[in-house]
Structure 1
Amino acid sequence: MFISLRVLFLLLFLVSSCLFVYTCQKTPKVVRLTSIGDNGEAYFSPDGKRLIYQSKKRPEHYNSQIYIYDFETKREKRLNFNNGDDTCSYFSPDMKWIIYASTFDEIRESAKFKRYIPAERKKEEEKKQRGHKWEFLPYEIYSADINGKNIRRLTHSIGYDAEGTISPDGKKIIFTSDRDGDLELYTMNADGSNQKRLTFRKGYDGGAFYSPDGKKIVWRAFSPEGDTAQIMMADADGTNIVQLTNDKAINWCPFFHPDGKRIIYASNRDDPHNFELYLIDIESRHIQRLTYSEGADILPVFSPDGKKIVFTSNREGGRCHLYMMDFSP
C-alpha cells in the first residue's frame, strides 16, 4: 500500500507538472500599450482601431483625463483639458460621439466637494501611505463629439453618476448612481432623458455592459457587506436576473465576448490577494483562467472581432498600464 501511494503521488506530481507547462505554453504573449502615467479602463472603438481610456499622474496633469490610443500610429491623444477628474469613457456605435464621467461641474457647484479639486486631492493622497480607501467622487455623466468638443451634461444628481456604457444601437446608456442612497444600475436615453432605475437590491451594483445584440446586460453585484461580488446577467430592462458566479470571491468587471455566449471578468478566486482574468461560458458555467501574473489583471475587454483582449494591470510593479494579448476560443 505504501508503494502504491508513492506511485500515485508521483503520477499526480507529473500530471500537475505537465498541466503547469501546458498552461504556460498556452498563455498568450502580453504587449504593454502605455508607458506614461497611471492608465486604465480602456474600451475599443467599434472598428477596433482605437482605444479610449483614462490616465492620471502624468507630468502635465495629476488628475484623470480621457485619452484615445491609435493602434496604427501607436500614439495617444488627450481629449479633455479640465480641472476635474474624468473617467468611464466609451465610444458610441457610430463613432461620432463618446460618453464619460467627470467631477468638473460638481466640484465647482458645491463647497462640500472642495476636497475633490485635483490639487486638494493630490495633497491628501501624498500624505496617505497605506490603507487608502476608495472614494466615490462626485461624478456626472457627459457626452461629447469624438474629438471631445460640444460637451453635453446628461445627469444632474448630487453624488456619484458614472460607469456609463452605450447600447449597441446607440439609443440607451446604462450607468451606476447613488442618487437613491445605494449604488444601483440606471438607464437613460442617449440625450439624458428618461432616467430609470433597474436594480433594487442592497449592495453595490455597477460596471454594467450590454450584450452584443443589446438584449442582455451583465454587471457585478457586491454583497451588502462588500466582501464578495458576483457576476450577474439580466434582460436589458433589468428583469429575469441570473447569477453566473457563486463563490466567496470578488468577481467583477465582466464584459461580453462578441459571440454573446461567454463573459470575461476579473476575480481573486484563486488568490484572495490578487486578481486574474477568467472566462465563463454562460450556458455551461464552465470557468477558464486566462492569466497568471503576480500583479493584478483587471478591467478586461474584447476587441470587436473577439481576437484580442485589452486589460489594466500593475504586473510590472508600481503604476497601472494597459496591456493587450491574443485570444483563441
Structure 2
Amino acid sequence: MLKNYSIFFLAFLLTQTACNNAKQSKEKISDSIQAESAMEDSLKYDNEAHLSNIRQLTFGGDNAEAYWSFDNTMLVFQSNNEAWDLGCDQIFYTEAEHGDMRKGKPKMLSTGLGRTTCAYFMPGDTTIIYASTHLGGENCPPVPERRTDGKYLWPIYNSYDIFIADLEGNILKQLTKEDGYDAEATVSPKRDKIVFTSDRSGDLELYTMDLDGGNVTQITDELGYDGGAFFSPDGSKIVFRASRPQSNEEIKEYKELLKEGLVAPTAMELFVCDADGSNLKQVTKLGKANWAPFYHPSGNKIIFSSNHKGQRGFEFNLFMINEDGTGLEQITRDPVFDAFPMFSPDGKKLVFSSNRNNQGTRDTNLFIADWIE
C-alpha cells in the first residue's frame, strides 16, 4: 500500500513538474511575444489606432515608394543608401515577411546606371516595371540647384523611360521611346493596363497603355502636373495628385519651370477619374501639398500624405479621406515625415516610408504595419 502510494505520489510530482515546466515555457514564450510586440509598438506613436505591429525594413538612406507584389509576399522599392554604394536611387526588391535589411543588401533589379524611380510588380510577380535615365547617361543626372527663393523643386528628367525587368535585373523590354519624361508607372489590379505620367504633349499628363506598351491613350488634359497615379482595387478608377495653376503668375511660373525640367510640388490636391479619364473629380481642397494617394481596400476611401496641418513645409503625415472629400482622418503622427502608403492587395497590411526611429538623422526608412480597420 505504501509502495503504491509512493508511486502515485511520484507520478503526481512528475505531473506537477511537467505542468510547471510547460507553464514556465508558455510564460517564456508569452514574455518573448510581449517583448517583441513592445519593440514593434515602440515604432508607433500615440493615436495611430489603425496601425499595429509596426516593423522596420530598411536602416539608412532614403528608401521610398515600396509597392506590393500581387501575391502579398514581396516589395519592390527605390533606395539611395550609401552603404550599398549607390550614387542615386536604384530599384530593389525583398520579401515582405523576412525583409529586414540589417541582414544585408537586398537584390538590386535596376542596372546601377543613371537614376531610377517608381517600380511596380507586373502580373505574375516575376517581372517589374520601373523608370530609368540610364539610356541618357551612365552617371546620376544632376540634382537641381537650390533657388535663392528657397522654393523646393522636383526634377523631371527628360531621359526617363519605362522598362520591364525580371527579378534577376535583366531588362526584357523598353515600353516607352518618346522624347521627354515617361515615369511614375503603376499597374491595374485587373492586370490589363498601366497608368503613367508623360510630358510628350508639352504638359505633364496621365496616360494609360497595355501591358506590352501598346494602345497608349492620354486621359488628362488640364494644365498642371498630373502624377503619382494608382488604380482602384477593381481597376475601374484612378486616383492621382495634381497641381492646377490658376493665376497668370502661377501659370507663367509653372510653364517656365517645366521648360527647365522642374516642377514645384508645394501646391497639389488629389483627384479621381474613371480609368478612361472621364468623370474627373477633385477630392481634396486642403491647401499645401497633398500627394502619394492610394485607394483603401474598400475602393471608396483614399489614404495619402499631406503637410496641410504642419507649421513647416516638411511635416507630412498620412491621412485618409472618403472619395467624395468627406470624413478626413489623420492616420500617422510622425513629427517630420510619413508618405508613400500602399495597402497590400489582401488589405491586411500597410507599407509606408517614415522618418521615425532614425535617431535624429535625415534617413527615411520603410515600415510595414498590420492594418486595423
TM-score, with structure 2 as normaliser: 0.73
What is the CA deviation profile of residues 122-162 of structure 1, one whole-angstrom value per residue up to 9, with x for unaligned ones?
A: 8x889x9x766321122100112233224211111222110
Match of 2:317 among 272, 276, 292: 276
- The question of 1:79 aligning with 2:123 is answered no
SS in structure 2 opposite 1:163?
Answer: strand
SS in structure 1 opposite 2:154?
Answer: coil
Q: Distance in 2 between matches of 1:283 and 1:173?
A: 25
Match of 1:192 among 210, 213, 222: 213
Once the 2 structures are TM-superposed, how far is the Cα of residue 69 of structure 1 from its aligned partner? 1.5
Corresponding residue for residue 286 of structure 1: 327
Q: Distance in 2 between matches of 1:250 and 1:200?
A: 21
Corresponding residue for residue 308 of structure 1: 349
Q: Distance in 2 between matches of 1:301 and 1:65?
A: 20
Which structure 2 residues correspond to residues 119-198 of structure 1 after superposition, within 5 A?
Answer: 121=142, 133-137=153-157, 138-198=159-219
Match of 1:251 among 271, 286, 290: 290
The AA in structure 2 aligned to 1:299 is F
Which structure 2 residues correspond to residues 11-160 of structure 1 after superposition, within 5 A?
Answer: 23=47, 28=52, 30-59=54-83, 60-74=85-99, 76-107=106-137, 117-118=139-140, 121=142, 133-137=153-157, 138-160=159-181
Aligned length: 297
The AA in structure 2 aligned to 1:73 is H
Identity of paired residues, percent? 41
Q: Does 1 or 2 have the higher relative contact order (CA < 8 Å, sep 6+)? A: 2
SS in structure 2 opposite 1:157?
Answer: coil
**Root-mean-square deviation (CA), in Å?**
2.5
Once the 2 structures are TM-superposed, how far is the Cα of residue 192 of structure 1 from its aligned partner? 1.1
- Please say which structure displays the higher CA radius of gyration: 2
Corresponding residue for residue 366 of structure 2: 322
What is the CA deviation profile of residues 206-258 of structure 1, one whole-angstrom value per residue up to 9, with x for unaligned ones?
A: 11111111111111111224542111111100000111112223211110122
Structure 1 unaligned runs (5+)?
1-20, 109-116
1:64 to 1:23, Cα distance in 2 relative to 1, 3 A: closer
TM-score, with structure 1 as normaliser: 0.83
Structure 2 unaligned runs (5+)?
1-44, 101-105, 251-263
- The question of 1:211 aligning with 2:203 is answered no
Once the 2 structures are TM-superposed, how far is the Cα of residue 65 of structure 1 from its aligned partner? 1.1
The AA in structure 2 aligned to 1:47 is D
Corresponding residue for residue 233 of structure 1: 272
What is the CA deviation profile of residues 166-212 of structure 1, one whole-angstrom value per residue up to 9, with x for unaligned ones?
A: 11232211000111221110111111112121111111111111111
Match of 2:304 among 265, 271, 282: 265
The AA in structure 2 aligned to 1:41 is E
Q: Distance in 2 between matches of 1:28 and 1:49?
A: 18
Corresponding residue for residue 3 of structure 1: none
Q: Does the Cα contact within 8 Å between 2:267 and 2:290 map onto a contact in 1?
A: yes
Q: Does the Cα contact within 8 Å between 2:49 and 2:331 map onto a contact in 1?
A: no
SS in structure 1 opposite 2:134?
Answer: coil
